[in-house]
Homo-oligomer: A and B are copies of this chain.
Amino acid sequence: MRIAIDVMGGDHAPVEIIAAAVEWAKKSDDELLLVGKEDLVAKILQNYTYPPDRVHIISATQVIEMDDSPATAMRRKKDASIVVATRLVKEGRADAVLSCGNTGAQMAAALFVLGRFENIDRPAIVAAIPNRAGSHTLLVDVGANVDCKPQQLLQFALLGKAYASIDLDINEPRIALLNNGTEESKGNVLAVESYGLLKAQAGLNFIGNIEGRDIFSAQADVIVCDGFTGNILLKAIEGLAQAAVHSCSLELERIPSFLSKFDYSRVGGAPLLGVEGVSIVCHGSSKREAVYNGIKTARDCVVKDMVKKQKLALSQSR
């Protein structure tokens, strides 16, 4: 197998990317095509021993930076590493392309060089989230499309269903819509309209809305959302897991107490800001401990004279 690697993309490019590719070449029988600035890549490669017949440099003279506009970059940087690497797949010279660079540019390259599936307007990125059942739940999209239309979320559902049949070996995956409540009426404009489309789609096992807290419950096999929400969500999950492990790495028994800080039952309620009185919003699923702690929050807000002080602070910041 031949894998094309955009070695110029990513915060730690090219050194870390090349190091990984070399490592892979050593441990497999695959051919690695390192796409990037030829002299630079060659120089870095000198620091490694690797099978020379299976690690090749493919020249690309340009790089699309993280803050480049994908559309502009695609027009102006025709010899960019991600474009050249994607072209290798199109031409059959590589079986896959991988990049840690500008996601928008990678998607644009995939669209323009490889082309999209019939009836699919925009590609989507899928992430497999571990769940409590020990399996995975697919989240689509996690960053390819930051502004979506309902029709796209339906397509994400169809793509997710197809992918689930291959990746999870589930033929009729349960599809859910990520939302801020389970009721059909809940959500922003996009979610409400998408709900209607998903419900109406024949052959789709649409189980309705799913809230953030149930992502890990294995209630759904595929969860669809816009790429803005999905990206923030995925990174937050990773961030919390990292924070829990790192903050507590010296003392294992501290992890549960660290994580329990995130238990809403212990927080109880959240103040509504901007209104002329203390109004505490609690989770709908609150049981007595959560309500009890919500009362505590209400009390704190009153004791701190929250409304008056907020207004004072606001007037000073204008």
Contact = CB atoms under 8 A, between A and B. Distances in A.
A309 interface: yes
A118 B237 CA distance: 37
A12 B213 CA distance: 17
Interface residues on A, range: 35 or more
Contact of A86 (B114, B260, B279): B279
Interface string A211-238: 1111111000000011111011111111
A277 B114 contact: yes
Contact of A282 (B90, B98, B255, B263): B98
B275 A117 contact: yes
Contacts of A17: 286, 288, 291
Given A128-B267, A298-B3, A90 B274 contact: no
Interface in A115-150: 115-120, 122-132, 140, 142-144, 146-147
B144 A272 contact: yes
A116 B155 contact: no
A227 B189 CA distance: 12
30 contacts: A3-B298, A3-B302, A5-B295, A11-B284, A16-B286, A67-B183, A89-B277, A95-B278, A96-B279, A97-B277, A97-B280, A114-B276, A116-B275, A116-B276, A126-B271, A126-B273, A147-B188, A159-B310, A162-B309, A162-B313, A165-B313, A212-B233, A212-B238, A213-B235, A216-B243, A233-B233, A236-B236, A241-B261, A242-B262, A244-B255
